[in-house]
Structure 1
Amino acid sequence: MDIDNLIAIDTHVHAEVSCCQPPDLFGKEFDDAADKYFGTVLRQGRRPTIPETIDYYRERKIGFVMFTVDAESQMGRRRIPNEEIAEFAANNSDIMIAFASIDPHKGKMGAREARRLIEECGVRGFKFHPTVQGFYANDRMAYPLYEVIAEYGLPAIFHSGHSGIGSGMPGGGGLRLKYSEPIHLDDVAADFPDMKVVIAHPSWPWQDEALSICLHKPNVYIDLSGWSPKYFPPQLVQYANSLLKERMLFASDFPLIHPDRWLDDFQKAGFKPEVHHLLLKDNAVRLLGLGAKPEPAQAG
């Protein structure tokens, strides 16, 4: 990644449209409900392709981390291939980094896939969404996956708090918010100190839990995605300005939240000027280990 020429690094960008397989319209009502909830601005009446997203970020000189969400077991919807995202990242490495997503219900096969994606495809982290994947983050079912991620010292991003996915649908689309209470990540951070745990989004209504875990566990970060900064809980801004200024990350949730809006509102949300460079880029550089190739930890 061309760090010196980037004004920021967005650590939370979704791949929404595959270029190598037809759209899976099963469960499209979840997309429609999320667009309504977020007030998503769709160009050409659809979500952007990966190449369109690359052009969007390159024009703005913002680096980004991209991933899909594999919820095939819970939602029955085909994921975008992790390999597709990794290939685009390899061909656009000045601006883009690929994370992968693997449904934890895939067990040891999922762990095998994770290792292959790291070693053969250059994936540099993983994304989990407990609400749509239907699991508690500290469920031992997911630990074989975490073991591989920790072995390589890579980050894992976990959705936390309220979910825009399912909001407004009858019964919330059958999704349970309980899975994304951040306290379950305390076990994960304790059991895998070599894995960087990123708590995604302001964790409303459990914001103080997320801040406590981040204060207590040095391998924990918080990404600031999914909300406009003008709506951030005041304690989140307070800790970003002080004790946790080196472990919070600029993140948008594109295409649901656009970075233009996020960055504009960030300037007015009470963040001290002296922490801007940390939140917008420097913390992400450290989290992502930019310039370093992930290698397995040495035994003994």
Structure 2
Amino acid sequence: MSADIQNPDDDLPEQLRIRREKRQQLIDAGLEPYPTDLGLTHTLAQVREAYDPEVLGADHHTGDVVTVAGRVIFRRGTGKLVFVSLREGDGTSLQAMVSLDGVGEESLERLKHLVDIGDHLAVTGEVITSRRGELSVQASSWAIAAKTLRPLPNEHNPLSDEARSRMRYVDLIVRPEARDNVRVKAKVLQSLRRTLDERAYVEVETPVLQHTNGGAAARPFHTHVNAFDESALLRIALELHLKRSLVGGIDRVYEIGKTFRNEGVDNTHNPEFMMLEAYEAYGSYDTMADLTRALVVDAARAVGRTVVPGRDGSEIDLEQPWRRATIHELVGEAVGQQV
């Protein structure tokens, strides 16, 4: 056969092709581009917490050796000293100083030529402060923790709303607000469960696949259970099975789970979303109102935001007493007469 076999990498954009070539160079040099054990001793946050550069002063050597890792978000230097900024998931960053004296000529040149912005890097070295007083790790060795094959988005050309929605992992990398939202949501979920658990509510898991939907008026997703040769629906609400649990003797019950509605999509509606439903035997709308307030206030305390902006631009202190009103009272106010 005279036709040459085409290399699939030939059709890749230049940046992707170059990064794949660098990964291959690491492999050819006997270096693992995705090692499983880095021997880490500290997180970047732990180093930051343990050493105060203002107390240490400029150009200080602690004598303490650590091994840390993070994503490369900045790199400068082409001579005998390279500065690398590492960042971990919570946003904590730390400078690594990789010098000719510290790691040797071959290792330094490999760093310059094979490490890109976005790569994950592990660094072992002494905790020091630089001449400018910046807390740093003076590297005695380094290793690739994970070689990235795609470049990060340019900060001057941010992701569109659609791209952020379709590539959440990229959004998490480039936007601290996105990472903060993940942690805030986790704290809110922990708070909700804690508040309910303290009030003797029992968390249950109810079926996602159902034969009939209830608890809401919405268009469901349809599927088929091959083992039973029967049609099924993804649940549109949590209500019915929770009420069956109540009937069965679980006097206080709740569930936090995903529900699915095959309807419109916009900034406030998604086909797949999370719900919280709770039910209490012998309760009333007054007891549920008390529970609702406790859930909201406890969650606000958990994230440190008990004062929130109102729709009219005013500030609302969630810890202050809440107004109580019936539907009839509110409708009467709106129409200007007693209902």
Give the TM-score taking structure 2 as reference length: 0.17
Between structures 1 and 2, the one with greater strand share? 2
Greater RCO, 1 or 2 (C-alpha within 8 Å, sep 6+): 1
Give the TM-score taking structure 1 as reference length: 0.19
Q: Which has the larger radius of gyration?
A: 2
